[in-house]
Amino acid sequence: MLTRIISGVIGIGAAAFVIQYGGWLFAIAVLMLVLIAWYEFSKAFAAKGIRVGYLTGAAMIFLLWGCSWLGNPEELFAITTLSALVLTAQAVIRYKKFSVPGALVTLGGVMYIGLSFSHLILLRFYGEGTMVASPLGDFDLGCAYVWTALIGTWASDTFAYFTGTAFGKHKLCPDISPKKSVEGFAGGIAGTMLSVAGLGVFFSFDVLMMAILGLFICLVATLGDLVESIMKRYTGIKDSGNIIPGHGGVWDRFDSVMFTVPFVYYFMQIAAVR
């Protein structure tokens, strides 16, 4: 537990610096995270006997990352299409070594991991040049949005854990994640709504809209966690890696964030929260 706490504190401190700094440092940090997550994903399915096109998938993820940072969101559609064509064509060209299931798992992983982390960059650089006031000074709009997604996700996980530990009696998804309870889920919703509404006050955003966003963040974060859980059950692994002492791998730590960040990105645009 002590190792988990220490690595968590160090991780939060490093994340805060990188998020606030933004620019090339944020982009490079995301690239490192997405490539590690891709390695963990590929290794997990290899344990199941499914050979993933690791290098081709990594190249496509790199292109998605580059378009998110240096290009524009519209180019992501072109790279997504290219990924589908290249990876399925490989199943024909390398049919003796690269199976159809391998091609489809690779494509799914590129979409699941590559697009999710690409939205983390899109969110951080959203509305570049637009500032929002807070008691701690001005924040870039995209920076405020990233903190909303991350703090909302952490609040969902934290409140669900402690509420479930104290009051959990009814299993939420026993076949996928036996430790999750209905009571914990309810506590997560309440805690996330309050936390995100509090961020609304902090950033002078519409508080009601932020509370609604908090509700959806908890729903989406829980789904993201369950998605990784069912994949780990399918591949027969316990943790995706051990790069973060006491916390497992990057995929383990970002499973919920990979769902909440794209949701926050589009919600903020549709609801025009600023």
Residue 150 to residue 122: CA distance in whole angstroms: 14
Residue 71 to residue 65: CA distance in whole angstroms: 9
Residue 159 to residue 198: CA distance in whole angstroms: 15
In the chain, at which residue ranges do the beta strands (DSSP E only) sit? 131-132, 139-140, 171-173, 177-181
User: Quick one: CA dihedral 200, 205, 209, 215, positive or negative?
Assistant: negative
Q: Tell me the per-residue pLDDT of 40-62, one tens digit each, with 9 for 90 and over.
A: 999 999 999 998 999 999 999 99
Q: Tell me the per-residue pLDDT of 72-128, one tens digit each, with 9 for 90 and over.
A: 777 889 999 999 999 999 989 888 788 899 999 999 999 999 999 999 999 999 988
Q: Tell me the per-residue pLDDT of 245-271, one tens digit each, with 9 for 90 and over.
A: 656 789 999 999 999 999 999 999 998
DSSP one-letter code for 110: I
